[in-house]
């Protein structure tokens, strides 16, 4: 159930260049699952006007806390980055359908592939998969070393490969470069990141079960405005899906890439 809540800032930390980790406290944490997102009003003023959809990186139901990791790049996220401990943030959520954690059997292996600011939701997913007895392999792509984050956190959960476009950290190239050279054995893949990455991954594993998380410019965030629709493939009965309310996670082969 989607709710609106003034959540309290527990901490705000810069964890890489322009990358912030914001922890919030509030009741709606109880409803969250990995891969869902929240719709955040970054200021009480009319500027910036619209909410910002931000993914959920950590869920701590025992303490009613969750973490989001975002890049402070545009007007809204720069305002969000100014929040300090004790301040309140207007959050609508949790929104959308997240990653199906039970798609992998206990004892199985999941491949998690993330790109840039698509990496954060994979962290909570990896935690929950590990808790179910699923082995996780992480392949995480970034532009450069200075925007990489959560290396220790992912490494603690399983085999982790970093890849950067300029080669400043890990393998030089794209996530597919790593997948080609390492060829990991796995049962199901999960991915979140830029469209070319999702497209490449879908083409890479045509025979595997997989789940992709999409990003699109949103208006309302709840499915009413039809701003974030995507065309579907011939395999799907519907003509279109809405990223906010039908997604952001879709089974591989749903969205026309």
Residues that bind another protein (CB under 8 A): 1-2, 4, 41, 46-51, 75, 92, 216-230, 239-240, 245
In the bound state with another protein, the residue whose beta carbon lies nearer, of 140 and 228, is 228
In the bound state with another protein, the residue whose beta carbon lies nearer, of 46 and 185, is 46
In the bound state with another protein, the residue whose beta carbon lies nearer, of 93 and 170, is 93
Shortest distance, CB of residue 39 to another protein, whole angstroms?
Answer: 9
Buried/exposed 143-163: b ≥16 CB within 10 Å, e otherwise: eeeebbbbeebbeebbebbbb
Q: Contact 184/162 with Cβ under 8 angstroms?
A: no
Cβ-based burial of 217 (10 A; exposed 0-12, middle 13-18, buried ≥19):
exposed
In the bound state with another protein, the residue whose beta carbon lies nearer, of 184 and 226, is 226
Shortest distance, CB of residue 104 to another protein, whole angstroms?
Answer: 30
Shortest distance, CB of residue 218 to another protein, whole angstroms?
Answer: 7
Element (H, E) at 65: strand 65-71
| Nearest CA among 34, 1, 8 for reference residue 86 | 8
Count of CB atoms situated within 10 Å of the CB of 97: 15
Tokens of 200: 């490449």
Tokens of 88: 């309140």
Cβ-based burial of 125 (10 A; exposed 0-12, middle 13-18, buried ≥19):
buried
Shortest distance, CB of residue 50 to another protein, whole angstroms?
Answer: 5
Shortest distance, CB of residue 195 to another protein, whole angstroms?
Answer: 11
Shortest distance, CB of residue 117 to another protein, whole angstroms?
Answer: 17
In the bound state with another protein, the residue whose beta carbon lies nearer, of 226 and 235, is 226
In the bound state with another protein, the residue whose beta carbon lies nearer, of 46 and 183, is 46
């Amino acid at each position: 159930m989607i709710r609106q809540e003034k959540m309290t800032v527990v901490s705000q930390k810069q964890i890489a260049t322009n990358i912030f980790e914001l922890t919030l406290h509030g009741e709606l944490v109880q409803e969250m699952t990995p891969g869902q997102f929240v719709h955040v009003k970054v200021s009480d003023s009319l500027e910036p006007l619209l909410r910002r959809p931000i993914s959920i990186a950590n869920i701590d139901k025992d303490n009613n806390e969750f973490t989001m990791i975002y890049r402070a790049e545009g007007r809204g996220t720069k305002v969000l980055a100014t929040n300090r401990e004790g301040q309140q943030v207007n959050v609508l959520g949790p929104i959308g359908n997240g990653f199906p954690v039970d798609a992998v059997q206990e004892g199985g292996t999941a491949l998690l592939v993330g790109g840039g600011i698509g990496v954060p939701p994979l962290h909570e997913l990896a935690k929950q998969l590990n808790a179910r007895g699923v082995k996780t392999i992480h392949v995480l792509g970034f532009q450069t070393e200075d925007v990489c984050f959560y290396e220790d956190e992912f490494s603690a959960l399983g085999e982790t490969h970093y890849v950067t476009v300029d080669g400043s950290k890990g393998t030089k190239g794209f996530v597919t470069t790593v997948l080609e050279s390492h060829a990991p054995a796995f049962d199901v893949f999960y991915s979140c990141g830029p469209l070319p990455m999702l497209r490449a991954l879908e083409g890479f594993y045509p025979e595997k079960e997989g789940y992709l998380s999409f990003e699109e410019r949103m208006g309302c965030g709840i499915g009413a405005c039809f701003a974030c629709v995507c065309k579907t493939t011939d395999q799907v009965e519907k003509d279109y899906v809405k990223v906010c309310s039908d997604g952001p996670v879709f089974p591989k082969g749903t969205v026309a890439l």
